[in-house]
Amino acid sequence: MSRITEDTKKKIMDLAKDAGGILLHAQEIEKTVEEKSGRANFVTAYDKKVQAFLFESLKEILPQAVLIGEEEETHAALPKGLAFIVDPIDGTTNFMKGYCVSAISIGLLEDGEPLFGVVYNPYLGELFHAARGEGAFCNGKPIHVSPHRLGDGIVIFGTAPYNEELSKLSFRYAYEMFTRSLDVRRSGSSAIDVCNVACGRAELFFELLLSPWDYAASSLILTEAGGVITGPAGEKLIYDSKMGVIAGNAQAHKIFVDLWQERGGA
């Protein structure tokens, strides 16, 4: 039995949709862009605005939960008990460019493990959600990872543009996975990518460095959809530091992890 009520779940899902409206109506985004540390790492006034909007409501929905969001100056340590881990805009570079592939991501964790997750893509009006032990859904309909083998599948990858060494390695592994699949894709929103694997549109996703707010919600959606999500060597996901993320149906996931282990991650 989930510890959160249907009413609470609905409130969080409605909030993600309302936040999506802010993205759809955003104007003159490029004028509000600031660079954060490192390469290809941006924030817009809208990232901050959406986070403030989410935090204000989440505080009312579950006052006992700690709030952790990408756009804070300093992040609270992941506590025992309840914590929201929020990415107000996953796919900020796309958002700046008007590329229309970005999402609101809200993960709720209990004792460091995902309990509930919502990813909302306002451009397609797709709301993915999952509660631990209760399955995964897209717009209320149950979703499941694809039954297809990697050889008949699509691989989505992220390029980790903010880390030169990992970017090079990402392209090497992208080529390796390309040769074992039908083709590769790169979207710019890892939350949407993992949800696309969860609903069977692709068989595998990998990105060699992500932050907990990128996968706090989507990782639960993926596992509740019957998929497997770990670090590149098969290690358990953690939600209090950055790590690489490999998500797939069991067969596709194993092919990546086996290759990574065989090559010692090189």
Q: In the complex, which residues of this chain contact ligand 2AM (CB under 6 A)?
A: 38, 41, 70, 87, 90-92, 158-159, 162, 188-190, 207, 209-211, 214, 242
Residue 47 CB, nearest approach to ligand 2AM (Å): 8
Q: Which of 154, 221, 220, 213 is nearest to 189 (CA)?
A: 213
Residue 132 CB, nearest approach to Ca ion (Å): 24
Q: How many CB atoms lie within 10 A of CB 266?
A: 6
| Contacts for 57 with CB less than 8 Å, ≥ 6 apart | 11, 15
DSSP for 46-86 reads HHHHHHHHHHHHHHHH-TTSEEEETT-SSPPPPPSSEEEEE
Residue 35 CB, nearest approach to ligand 2AM (Å): 11
Among ligand 2AM, Ca ion, none, what binds residue 99 when CB lies within 5 to 8 Å by partner kind?
Answer: none
224 forms part of the interface with Ca ion (CB under 5 A): no
Nearer to ligand 2AM, 23 or 209 (CB): 209
Nearer to ligand 2AM, 168 or 242 (CB): 242
Q: Tell me the sheet residues that pair with 136.
A: 130
Nearer to ligand 2AM, 40 or 250 (CB): 40
Query: Quick one: how far is CA 102 from the chain centroid?
Result: 10
Contact map string, positions 43 to 72, toward Ca ion, x by CB under 5 A: ---------------------------x--
Contact map string, positions 77 to 116, toward Ca ion, x by CB under 5 A: ----------x-x--x------------------------
- Which residues here bind Ca ion, judged by CB under 5 A? 70, 87, 89, 92
